[in-house]
């Protein structure tokens, strides 16, 4: 069971940013010699990378708090994320 509101939101936001990064990289390769357009795309790419880093840091901090044993930094019960891991059998 995963807390849908937190984990899916973060996942969706990460996917949006990753897709946009790929699109801007494609646009950059097609805008080889164009000065202003290329500069604009490079600035956008830098901003998107900052956004992605922010999302990943948020996930890291959230997971740290979820799995913390310290009651002072632990999340309240209504904000915790519960994850069920299924075991998969491998056949040889």
* Ordered per-residue pLDDT tens for the chain, 92 residues: 444 466 677 788 889 999 999 999 999 988 877 788 888 999 999 999 999 888 888 777 777 766 665 655 556 666 665 655 454 555 54
Q: Which of 43, 45, 52 is nearest to 16 (CA)?
A: 52
In this predicted structure, what is the pLDDT of residue 47? 93
In this predicted structure, what is the pLDDT of residue 57? 82
d(CA 12, CA 54): 14
Token pair 């948020």 is at which residue?
A: 58
Whole-model pTM: value is 0.61
d(CA 10, CA 56): 9
Q: Where are the beta strands (DSSP E) in the chain?
A: none
In this predicted structure, what is the pLDDT of residue 1? 40
Token pair for residue 54?
Answer: 């922010």
d(CA 28, CA 26): 5
């Amino acid at each position: 069971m995963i807390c849908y509101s937190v984990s899916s939101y973060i996942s969706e936001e990460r996917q949006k940013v990753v897709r946009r990064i790929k699109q801007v990289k494609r646009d950059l390769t097609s805008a080889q010699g164009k000065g202003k357009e290329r500069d604009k795309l490079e600035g956008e790419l830098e901003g998107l990378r900052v956004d992605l880093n922010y999302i990943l840091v948020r996930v890291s901090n959230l997971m740290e708090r979820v799995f913390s044993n310290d009651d002072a930094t632990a999340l309240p019960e209504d904000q915790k994320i519960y994850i069920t891991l299924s075991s998969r059998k491998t056949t040889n």
